[in-house]
C-alpha cells in the first residue's frame, strides 16, 4: 500500500484539541446580554407606568372638564336681564321670581350630577383593577385540569 498501513476506507483518528477559552468569553457575553435585556425591560416597565399615570390624569382632567362644561354651558345660554341686574325701582314679579327659583333648582340638579360624575370617575381605577383581577381568576379557572360534568360544559360550534 502506498501511503500507510491503514485499511481501505478507514480514516486516521485524530485527537481533538481542547476548546479555546472563547467559550468562557461567550458565557460572559451571554450574561452581559441578559443584563442589558433586564435593564431594557425595567426601563420599559418604568415608561409604561409613567404612561399609565399620564393617561389616568388625562382621563380625570377630561372628565372634570366635561362636567364643568355641562354646568357652565346652560348658564352661558341663560338670557341676560335676570332679577340680579334690575334697577332698584323695578321689583321682580311673581313670574320672574319663579324663573329664578327654577334656575336655582336646575343649578342644584347640575351640581348634584357633577358630584355624582366625579364620584364615578374617582371609582374607575378601582373598578378597572377588580375587572382585571376577575379576568385573571377566569383565566386561572380555564387553565385548571379538573373533571367537569358534561352538563356544565359549553358546546362549541
Q: Concatenated DSSP letters for 60-112?
A: HHHHHHHHHHHHHHHHHHSPS--GGG--TTPPP-HHHHHHHHHHHHHHHHHHH
Dist. CA 23–CA 19, nearest whole Å: 7
> Measured on CA atoms in the order 94, 100, 105, 108, is the torsion positive or negative?
negative
Instruction: Average the pLDDT over each of 73-87, 92-106, 109-123 and give the range with the smallest value.
Output: 73-87
pLDDT reading at 86 higher than 60: no
Cβ neighbors of 145 (< 8 A, separation 6 or more) are: none
Dist. CA 61–CA 40, nearest whole Å: 31
Q: What pLDDT, on a 0 to 100 scale, did the predictor assign at position 14?
A: 65
Exposure of 6 in the CB half-sphere (CA atoms within 13 A): 8
**C-alpha distance across the termini of the chain, in Å:** 76
Reported as a single tens digit per residue, the pLDDT across 45-56 is: 888 888 888 888
Reported as a single tens digit per residue, the pLDDT across 11-56 is: 666 666 655 566 667 778 888 888 888 999 899 888 888 888 888 8
Confidence of residue 112 (pLDDT cuts 50, 70, 90): very high
φ and ψ at residue 80, rounded to 5 degrees = -75, 160
Residues 119-123: what's their mean pLDDT?
88
Do the beta carbons of residue 150 and residue 89 sit within 8 Å? no
Amino acid at each position: 500500500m502506498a501511503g500507510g498501513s491503514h485499511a481501505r476506507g478507514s480514516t486516521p483518528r485524530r485527537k481533538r484539541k481542547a476548546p479555546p477559552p472563547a467559550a468562557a468569553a461567550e458565557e460572559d457575553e451571554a450574561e452581559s446580554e441578559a443584563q442589558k435585556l433586564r435593564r431594557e425591560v425595567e426601563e420599559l416597565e418604568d415608561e409604561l407606568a409613567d404612561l399609565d399615570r399620564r393617561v389616568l390624569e388625562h382621563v380625570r382632567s377630561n372628565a372634570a372638564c366635561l362636567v364643568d362644561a355641562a354646568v357652565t354651558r346652560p348658564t352661558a345660554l341663560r338670557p341676560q336681564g335676570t332679577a340680579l341686574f334690575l334697577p332698584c325701582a323695578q321689583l321682580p314679579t311673581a313670574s320672574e321670581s319663579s324663573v329664578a327659583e327654577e334656575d336655582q333648582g336646575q343649578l342644584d340638579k347640575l351640581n348634584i350630577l357633577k358630584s355624582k360624575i366625579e364620584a364615578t370617575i374617582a371609582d374607575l381605577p378601582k373598578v378597572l383593577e377588580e375587572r382585571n383581577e376577575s379576568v385573571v381568576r377566569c383565566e386561572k379557572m380555564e387553565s385548571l385540569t379538573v373533571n367537569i360534568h358534561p352538563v356544565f360544559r359549553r358546546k362549541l360550534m
